[in-house]
Amino acid sequence: MEYVDSLTGFRLDGRRPNDIRQIRAEIGVVAKADGSALFEMGNTKVIAAVYRPTEVQNKGQQINNQALVRCEYSMANFSTRDLQEDQRGTEISLVICQTMEACILVHLMPCSQIDIFVQVLQADGETRSACINAATLTLADACFPMRDIVTSCSAGYLSSTPLLHLNYVEDSARGPDVTVGILAKMDKVTLLQMGSKLPIDIFENVMQLAIEGCKAIAQYIREVLLENTKLLESRKGL
Amino acid sequence: MAAATSTPFGGGDTGGGGLAAGEMEVEAYRRLFPLAFYERHLRDSVRPDARPLHRARDTSIALGPVAFSDGSALVKIGDTTMLAAIKLEVMTPATDAPDEGSLAIEFYMPPICSPTVRPGRPAEVAPVISKQLSDTIISSQMINLKELSLVSGKASWMAYLDIYCLNADGALFDAALLSAIAAFSHLQIPLVSLNDDGKVITVSEELLEGKPSVELVNKEKRKLSLQRIPFSLTCLLHGKYILADPTAEEESVMETFVTVVLDSLGQLVSIYKPGGAVLAHRSTVKECIRLTKQRIDELKNILAESASAMEVA
């Protein structure tokens, strides 16, 4: 199957290999939560919520000099093209959890537990990236102290071309898929996952592409947060 | 804030034991003496959000938010938000009902919806509402299961309706039921045809254009004809007061509630009053039914508006 048309250079969804997907984010969508966000990357829609730090449920896991970060990831039954059971991904939960742990200043909240909940409403590839981006926005909305914004996106290599932001069809092609999560301003990589084989020099290109995609998302997230702050300012009459 | 003089407050006594509202911040009073706070409002026939006792919150319906499903709806009643989506799957009908399809209805409350729901502590009320919804929709006979049949005895549709609560702020059953019927009204049954093995397969609309020879099994029957649509209203009972469409805070303070379900023809489908400290006299029940009737007119309009909004888009 041709993932990149040889004549026009367009992909299956009409994008060019380096084009990002349409990104949209909204903060404060769950009124009762201390922080919440809705994040869309193309057709992938994810909603995340976080509540203020609480007492650690399982005392055995309590860490005395920092907070315990827990994440629960689940996909709605209708989120994918085929029907499936209400899925709870343990692996993805762990990935999101450890990625966010890198950016929250956990030593400021010892002996407590931070619960991040992520619900996938529509899955069209890159669900874990969308979840991480939603989680970042959510934590920012809840005013958690953070080192930096974490953003994530994926890139692949099909039809001999590095492609940015894989959708479901491209993801199902079982080609190489590199997911990167970076701390935007500090320019550090916190998450890097890849499956399938890839020559090392091509890998560097693909990873670089993904990092640029992450930076574009970070730019957008900053704008959204700034807008939100201006709105709060005007509401308070400042 | 003046220091409170140490007057003991009688438990359950109204008026907060004689402390005037000006001597304590309103928010503190609201948290410390919620019942007294509410009763003060009820005496003036109003609620903290300035609603009269019998008015429901602003309701909105958006059809089709979930692109991958066959029918979906996002409903908001005040802050309570429900997302319902239907996916259809072909299956073999039961031998004792070869001309009928079937429904599977599930209601979920993921932890994002409320701070009281934790991963190890699922919401107790979720399976209750799930069962209630299932019973209500089936007993109201809104859906004629025969319309979900494809080939008698061989193939029929199984409709999986999943409703996710995205924000729990009271009146969960009302919002969930509304989202379910909105999703069914939006449902578009996919085109199917029989392939060479005699199996039923779905056909995509775009692929049809080049192949007039593909025989469609259900060309005409794309939408369900919903006959007697059930609508509901939950009311809280407190003393002699009836509060329509409660918020989560109101529900936690005044625990007795009645849910009345009427169908679009004005007939009673169900009444649900699961115990509670307040006993309901006949007049109270009649009043709840009357309020539900009023609410149905509002809901019918909102549903019709959302359907026409879809057509314009």
Q: How would you label B175-188 residue by residue, b for 16+ Cβ within 10 Å and e otherwise?
A: bbbbbbbbbbbbbe
pLDDT digits (tens), chain A, 238 positions: 777 777 788 888 888 888 889 999 999 888 888 999 999 999 999 999 998 888 888 888 888 888 999 898 988 888 887 776 656 678 888 889 889 988 899 999 999 999 999 999 998 888 889 999 999 999 999 999 999 999 999 999 888 888 899 888 888 887 888 999 999 888 899 999 887 888 888 899 999 999 999 999 999 999 999 999 999 899 888 6
Tokens of B143: 């859906």
Judged on CB neighbours under 10 Å (0-12, 13-18, 19+), B22 is exposed
The rounded distance, in Å, linking the Cα atoms of A9 and B50 is: 59
Instruction: Inform me whether the C-beta atom of residue B311 falls under 8 Å from chain A C-beta atoms.
Output: no
Q: How far apart are the first and last CA of chain B?
A: 54
Between helix B125-139 and helix B172-186 the angle, nearest 10°, is 50
Q: What is the pLDDT of residue A131?
A: 94
Q: Which residue of B has its CA nearest to A116?
A: B112
Closest Cβ–Cβ partner in B87, B166, B248 for A78? B87
CA-CA-CA-CA dihedral for B282, B283, B287, B293, to nearest 10: 50
Q: What are the backbone dihedrals phi and psi of residue B135, each rounded to the nearest 5 degrees, phi first?
A: -60, -45
Asked whether residue B10 carries a pLDDT value surpassing 80, the answer given is no
A&B contacts, CB < 8 Å: 81
Instruction: Inform me whether the C-beta atom of residue B168 falls under 8 Å from chain A C-beta atoms.
Output: yes
- CB contacts, 8 Å: B105 with chain A: none
Residue B291: helix, strand or coil by DSSP?
helix
Asked whether residue B6 carries a pLDDT value surpassing 50, the answer given is no
Task: Name residues 229-248 of chain B within 8 A of A (Cβ).
Answer: 248
Q: Which residue of A has its CA nearest to B81?
A: A30
Confidence of residue B11 (pLDDT cuts 50, 70, 90): very low
pTM: 0.82
Confidence of residue B217 (pLDDT cuts 50, 70, 90): low
- Contacts of A84 by beta carbon, 8 Å cutoff, 6+ apart: A75, A77
Judged on CB neighbours under 10 Å (0-12, 13-18, 19+), A155 is buried
Residue type, A22: Q
User: What is the β-pairing status of strands A150-158 and A161-164?
Assistant: antiparallel
Residue B155: C-alpha distances to residues A65, B158, B203 (Å) = 61, 10, 15
Its ipTM equals 0.73
Tokens 């009204």 locate to B185
